[in-house]
Chain A
Amino acid sequence: MGRSECPEVVLIFRGTHQVLSAEKALKRGGVGVRLIPVPRRLTSDCGLAVRLPEPTLALALETLRAVPLTPASVHRLLATGEYEEVLF
């Protein structure tokens, strides 16, 4: 998966149901998201994660809080291909 010029973040959730709940809420809230397989560097889970542009992260987290939904963790995708955990 190629990286766009805009920095992106990956949101990890507890299970597929939470991922799809998050996707539904974020789309309704006007936040563009993509579902991706959970990056193996983050967890060995075989499920899905939510990927979105970093500038929309604050709106995304606010939208999720209203559901309420809290990601298990958030990670910034670095230019090197590595991930850096984002505290929220």
Chain B
Amino acid sequence: MPNTKDYIYLDNAATSLPKPPGVAEAVAGAICRAGNPGRSGHALSIGSARDLFTARERLAELFGFRDSSRFVFTENATGALNQAIKGLLRSGDHVVTTSVEHNSVMRPLRRLESAGVSVTVVPADATGTVDAAGMIAAIRPETRLLAVTHASNVAGAVQPVETIVRAAHARGVFSLIDAAQTAGAFPIDLSTLPVDLLAAAGHKGLLGPQGTGFLFVREGVPLVPLIEGGTGSRSEDDHQPDFYPDCLESGTPNSVGIAGLSVALAWLLKKGVDGIRAKEVALVSELLEGMRRIRGAIVYGPEDPSKRGCALSFNIEGADPGEVGRRLEREAGILLRAGLHCAPNAHRTLGTFPQGTVRVSPGPFTTRREIGKFLSAVKRIAAG
């Protein structure tokens, strides 16, 4: 495995690197001592259960929600989104979503279309931003869910989730936010934002290990579990428990990964998400400013850095994005992602389908010096 110190890592929208101090040690420690949480009464089982409990409590604190039992651990954001979408929607239901969703939202919805669910995809504008009024206007009497990403993983555009969620709430329609690109990087307060379901990965902005994620489920949302089985609770009953988090957490969880996630969450709580957001806005501002000066560089998404997440997509006129990505790695040791980023509709919206874009995404450990090196490398490549 290459040493990350040999590279400039700018692929945090895919997975964050490096992780905060202590995360790797927590994972290594847990793999040596994690018993099966909640399944036995011995010390190592209880210790592992405490790790999960602590991580859940930290999630609740980070997102401003009192009851940590409503945060269900999943293997990633995709698992959380599948549970939310397939656990809620039934034949005859209607769902409103946007043209900038990731395939982890669109593919479950397309699957459900064949089961009698109707889907309205509201187009975003040329910057990848959806109009809240358009989402609200698409609501019908049979609309069950409004599903929207918090920030596009392609254009980086932050969506008007607060307006959308409040409108859904006022109309008795459930709302789902895909916070894969924003959890840990944007302040999200679930005590004031009346969203019903919020899904996120543990390995992106939350800075934990891969194989972790969560789904927040507000009280009163009637989710049917996708997976049923052993929970360590109510073992005398062969029916799935109806209480949280057990009803949506069957089978042995990723205790090892969650132990690492817990340390990452503690780091985020100590640093403060507001500070991380401010730093990342400053880095994206530098990126935008620098890219504007590069002849032949086309940047997608909003011009205002405060309306963007950390993902910034671009192309070099006449160049294949995959080749640009390869040259950045080979010539400057810069690691990022090129292609469609699992969101084909977002590229259709931006006019970058099927070739895709090059996506650069700094993280909380990215330095201004690294941004400067990246801009210099892009300038060299654009010059031919």
- State how many angstroms separate the Cβ of A46 from the closest Cβ of chain B: 5
Interface of A is mostly: mixed
- Do A15 and B39 contact each other (CB < 8 Å), given the known contacts A46-B235, A48-B49? no
Among A36-44, A52-60, A77-85, the one that faces the other chain is: A36-44
* Residue in A closest to B43 when the chains form the complex, CB atoms: A35
B233: Cβ under 8 A from any A Cβ: yes
Partner of A14, one of B37, B68, B243: B243
- Do A37 and B40 contact each other (CB < 8 Å), given the known contacts A15-B241, A15-B246, A21-B69? yes
Q: How far is the CA of A20 from the CA of B56 in the complex (A)?
A: 11
B187: Cβ under 8 A from any A Cβ: no
- Whether the pair B53, A44 counts as a contact (CB closer than 8 A) is no
- Whether the pair A45, B41 counts as a contact (CB closer than 8 A) is no
Partner of A17, one of B41, B56, B234: B56
* Residue in A closest to B71 when the chains form the complex, CB atoms: A17
B232: Cβ under 8 A from any A Cβ: yes
A73: Cβ under 8 A from any B Cβ: no
Query: B197-238 interface mask toward A, CB cutoff 8 Å, 1 = contact, 0 = none?
Result: 000000000000000000000000000000000011111100
Q: Which residues of B contact A21 (CB under 8 A)?
A: 53, 68-69
- State how many angstroms separate the Cβ of A28 from the closest Cβ of chain B: 12
Q: How far is the CA of A24 from the CA of B56 in the complex (A)?
A: 13
Q: How far is the CA of A21 from the CA of B37 in the complex (A)?
A: 15
Query: B235-250 interface mask toward A, CB cutoff 8 Å, 1 = contact, 0 = none?
Result: 1100001011110000
Q: How far is the CA of A80 from the CA of B171 in the complex (A)?
A: 59
- Whether the pair B236, A45 counts as a contact (CB closer than 8 A) is yes
B64: Cβ under 8 A from any A Cβ: no
Q: Which residues of A contact B69 (CB under 8 A)?
A: 17-18, 21
Q: Which residues of B contact A48 (CB under 8 A)?
A: 38, 41, 46, 49
A47: Cβ under 8 A from any B Cβ: yes
- Whether the pair A20, B50 counts as a contact (CB closer than 8 A) is yes
Report the interface size class on chain A.
10 to 19
Q: Which residues of A contact B49 (CB under 8 A)?
A: 16, 20, 48
- State how many angstroms separate the Cβ of B225 from the closest Cβ of chain A: 14
* Residue in A closest to B69 when the chains form the complex, CB atoms: A17
- State how many angstroms separate the Cβ of A23 from the closest Cβ of chain B: 9
Partner of B233, one of A16, A20, A35, A36: A16
Given contacts A24-B53, A46-B235, A47-B39, 14 further A-B contacts (CB under 8 A): A14-B234, A16-B37, A16-B53, A17-B244, A17-B246, A18-B69, A20-B53, A21-B53, A37-B40, A45-B234, A46-B40, A47-B41, A48-B41, A48-B46
- State how many angstroms separate the Cβ of A24 from the closest Cβ of chain B: 8
Measured CB to CB, the residues of A under 8 A from B are 14-18, 20-21, 24, 35-38, 43-48
* Residue in B closest to A17 when the chains form the complex, CB atoms: B69
Q: How far is the CA of A31 from the CA of B228 in the complex (A)?
A: 36
Q: How far is the CA of A16 from the CA of B50 in the complex (A)?
A: 9
Q: How far is the CA of A69 from the CA of B233 in the complex (A)?
A: 17
* Residue in A closest to B45 when the chains form the complex, CB atoms: A48
Q: Which residues of A contact B40 (CB under 8 A)?
A: 37, 46
- Enumerate 15 A-B pairs (CB-CB under 8 Å) in ascending A order: A15-B38, A15-B246, A16-B49, A17-B69, A17-B244, A17-B245, A20-B53, A24-B53, A36-B41, A38-B41, A43-B236, A46-B40, A46-B232, A47-B38, A47-B235
Q: How far is the CA of A17 from the CA of B41 in the complex (A)?
A: 14
Q: How far is the CA of A20 from the CA of B236 in the complex (A)?
A: 21
Q: Which residues of B contact A35 (CB under 8 A)?
A: 41, 46
- State how many angstroms separate the Cβ of B317 from the closest Cβ of chain A: 55
Q: How far is the CA of A35 from the CA of B50 in the complex (A)?
A: 11
Partner of B232, one of A36, A43, A47: A47
Q: How far is the CA of A33 from the CA of B245 in the complex (A)?
A: 23
- Whether the pair B236, A15 counts as a contact (CB closer than 8 A) is no
- Whether the pair B235, A45 counts as a contact (CB closer than 8 A) is yes
For the complex of A and B, 5 pairs with smallest distance between CB atoms: A37-B41, A16-B38, A15-B233, A44-B236, A20-B53
Q: How far is the CA of A16 from the CA of B54 in the complex (A)?
A: 12
Q: Which residues of A contact B41 (CB under 8 A)?
A: 35-38, 47-48
Name which of A36, A38, A45, A48 has the most chain B CB atoms within 10 A of its CB. A48
* Residue in B closest to A35 when the chains form the complex, CB atoms: B46
Q: Which residues of B contact A20 (CB under 8 A)?
A: 49-50, 53
- Do A17 and B231 contact each other (CB < 8 Å), given the known contacts A43-B236, A45-B236? no
Q: Which residues of A contact B56 (CB under 8 A)?
A: 17
